[in-house]
A and B are shown apart, each in its own frame.
Chain A
Amino acid sequence: MRLAVLTDIHGNREAFAAVLADLEGREIDRIALLGDIVGYGPDPGWCCDRAMVLVAGGALAVQGNHDAAISAMDPAMNANARKALDWTRPQLSEAQRQFLAGLPLSADLGDLRLVHASANAPGDWIYVTSEQRAMPSFRVCEARVILCGHVHVPALMSCDRAGQVRQQRILQASPVPLIRSRRWLAVVGSVGQPRDGVPQAGYAIWDDARNELCFRRVPYDTAATAAKVRAAGLPETLALRLLRGE
């Protein structure tokens, strides 16, 4: 099975569409959405609809903190995120809101655990940004491979049989075998708001027959999305962020 893993779409229609187009011809059997379908971006409705169609067709989806904050505001969120969510709420239909509210916090598929943030406490929205911060996920969750998002910067961690967690270097578009002597945690890069300095949509492909994970980047029309962010009256930093990928 080849699974396309998309996360942190954040209402970015152009990026989402570019990734879905990139899946064509890559023999993808299934799609997983790791949350934050909305928030920040100017097309939350379109992205929700697309996600709902994918889920109806068999895709897996888990909830992100922005998805959850549509029905219950998270006081820990920063000002821009709150502003964007206040703008987003009226854009969504009741069905879309219910879809987001009804998403589970985690899902299992074979030896994969899919979550938005950490695997140890998915609803606490912990950022897995270091070896140290990945350790609790490995301790609490027994899955061989944990796939998450939330950070917007792709990363790959391994945990060996002695419990040592190591961050591994990632090469784009170069599949990494997730050897079975270790357990693995991959932070998949953001589709709609990358923050690693590369203004391209990120996602990953998991191939369970080959036991390989491949991080990918797809260019999209950042200028178009940034223009929509500005036209919607959303904070300017959210537009700049897309153009710079920061």
Chain B
Amino acid sequence: MPLRPHPGLQIDGFTLGEKLHQGGFATIWEVTHPLHPGPMVMKVPVILDGYDGPTIVGFEVEQMIMPRLAGPHVPRVIAEGDFAVLPYIVTERLPGDSMLRLFGQAPLPLSDVIEVAARMAQAVHELHRQHVIHLDLKPENFLQRDTGEMVLVDYGLSRHADLPDLLAEEFTIPMGTFPYIAPEQYLRCRDDLRSDIFALGAMIYELATGRPPFGRPEKLKAVRRRLWRDPVPPRALNPEIPEWLQEIILRALEVLPQRRYQSAAQMVFDLTHPLQVKLTARAHRLQADGRMDVMRRWWAMRGVSSFGPPPELRAQVDHAPILMVAVDLSPQMEAIAGQLRRAVQRMLVLEPDARVACVNVIKTARIGLDVTTDDQGNNLHVARLVGLRAWAGGLDLPEERLTFTVLEGADPGAVLIDHADKIPVSHILMGARGHSSARQYLGSVSSQVVARARCSVTVIRAPRSPAAESPGETPQEVLDRAAALIQGEFREA
């Protein structure tokens, strides 16, 4: 490599400024470019003299993967350098420190743990949606935007489902960061997105207790212990940790991937719906397993070299979806509510690991205060929740796979879309009222959701009933009805 980076070096229009970070595999430099406004950083691999395999391949992997990523949870790539002159990647510079500083203050107050954990899991889910497993999740690889999104950096060990895996055939030693590496990753598996779930679990454990679940092993051999040795339950270290959070953490840290959360989205979902987390024996544990149990597991794991091939990565991403069902409980929608339930039942046959989020929207006026208590003094929220539960009763699903949420807003479509993004939902099911010309002109809630939601949307329509049709309307009649609809006086026939 003829060029060595140094402050003031000019390359491809970039001028190097201060060195921001010196790592084992790369240096990070502040850079400027007359054509690219805004703060940027340049990452340059530290390539030792001669052939430095691991660093080069790791950098090649980043060069393959990073330009394909999009969205707020990944750094935007601005330029790449020619390997023959100076290999580098220039990305936008993110403000502030990595999560490492925050982790230094762990244990954090519970509300912070939950909030940070949910944002970390959300970023991981967004990466998985792009068919990428990070495989080196650790506090220093999470940065933040001013707007709150976590940003994942360092893709040198990552795996893209649609690209050749340059690392797989190159090295036989497991790669990752010892405190957070998943057992199957130790066994050299690079195809399981649930490895990232394990790392998330280890990080949330550390945020909540102040120490990583498996200590900080320095030797690779010590990493193998996590195949049989369970971590001390978080509540044994910090009794303030609620059972539901321990349930989430220990589920993510299960040794066998199939016993963990099957997607980061489901983890986000539980972190944001604590009251609906189904508690198992994991939640109540107050000490690590006894010697006999551990011995038994050690015996079972001796000689194990793989947990078997995981499902194909793209299938894993689509697997374990969260279905959001927008249920309209109004009298004229009763027929559709039944149809909607049957549609959900059919989907559950195909997606046995799906979870169902039942949602109802209370429409409020755009201006002014709303009365969410009716004349009899019944709280409308409670009434709607009861209605949702009754609707879902017919689904015959266990509690832990259902959640119920009543939302409020002046614009039901927008409320549904926001909620779907937040959860994050993979598929929305909703009903649509009959065809009417007024709706065609004004747009319906379902058409708004179909147009703007980021996920798939299935719209269930009631069978046509001739009485509901209003044929032969003149444009004026349509406009009049539209005006009536705006004023809220319109009733569906």
Contacts and interface: CB of A to CB of B under 8 A. Distances in A.
Interface of A: 156, 158, 160-162, 166, 168-171, 174, 176-177, 179-182
Contacts of B162: 171, 174
A187 to B, nearest CB: 14
A181 B87 contact: yes
Interface in B30-68: 51, 53, 56-57, 59-60, 63-64, 67-68
A180 B82 contact: yes
14 contacts: A158-B166, A160-B57, A161-B51, A166-B166, A166-B169, A168-B166, A174-B162, A176-B163, A177-B64, A177-B67, A179-B60, A180-B83, A181-B60, A181-B63
Nearest to B59: A181
A179 B166 CA distance: 11
A176 B164 contact: yes
Contacts of B60: 179, 181-182
B165 interface: yes
The 9 A-B pairs of least Cβ separation, nearest first, read: A168-B164, A181-B83, A174-B162, A162-B51, A177-B64, A169-B164, A179-B60, A179-B63, A181-B60
A156 B164 contact: yes
A171 B313 CA distance: 13
A177 B57 CA distance: 14
A180 B64 CA distance: 10
A181 B56 contact: yes
Interface of B is mostly: loop
B67 to A, nearest CB: 7
B408 to A, nearest CB: 44
Interface of A is mostly: loop
A147 B78 CA distance: 30
Interface residues of B, number: 21
B56 A179 contact: no
Contacts of B87: 181
Contacts of A180: 82-84
Contacts of B169: 166
Contacts of A181: 56, 59-60, 63, 83, 87
A64 to B, nearest CB: 27
Nearest to B161: A171
A162 B83 CA distance: 14
A160 B56 contact: yes
A213 to B, nearest CB: 11
B165 A169 contact: yes
Nearest to B83: A181
A145 to B, nearest CB: 15
Nearest to B61: A179
A130 to B, nearest CB: 14
Contact of B163 (A161, A177, A182): A177
Greatest chain A CB density within 10 A among B60, B64, B84 is at B60
Interface in B62-91: 63-64, 67-68, 82-84, 87
A170 B53 CA distance: 23
A69 B12 CA distance: 50
Given A169-B164, A176-B163, A179-B60, 7 more contacts: A156-B164, A161-B56, A166-B170, A174-B163, A177-B63, A181-B87, A182-B60
A171 B82 CA distance: 26
B167 to A, nearest CB: 11
Contacts of B59: 181
Contacts of A182: 60
Interface string B159-191: 000111110011000000000000000000000
A133 to B, nearest CB: 17
A33 B57 CA distance: 33
B159 to A, nearest CB: 12
B19 to A, nearest CB: 23
Nearest to B82: A180
Contacts of A162: 51, 53
Contact of A179 (B64, B84, B165, B170): B64
Nearest to A156: B164
A181 B86 CA distance: 11
A174 B131 CA distance: 12
Nearest to A174: B162
A19 to B, nearest CB: 22
Contacts of B166: 158, 166, 168
B115 to A, nearest CB: 37
Nearest to B164: A168
A160 B57 CA distance: 9
A156 B164 CA distance: 10
A210 to B, nearest CB: 9
Contacts of A169: 164-165
Contacts of B163: 171, 174, 176-177
A180 B60 CA distance: 9
Contacts of A174: 162-163
Contacts of A179: 60, 63-64, 83
Contacts of B170: 166
A174 B56 CA distance: 24
A58 B150 CA distance: 50
A56 B403 CA distance: 66
A218 to B, nearest CB: 20
A207 to B, nearest CB: 13
A166 B57 CA distance: 12
Contacts of B64: 177, 179
Contacts of B67: 177
A192 to B, nearest CB: 27
A179 B164 CA distance: 11
Greatest chain B CB density within 10 A among A162, A171, A181 is at A181
B178 to A, nearest CB: 28
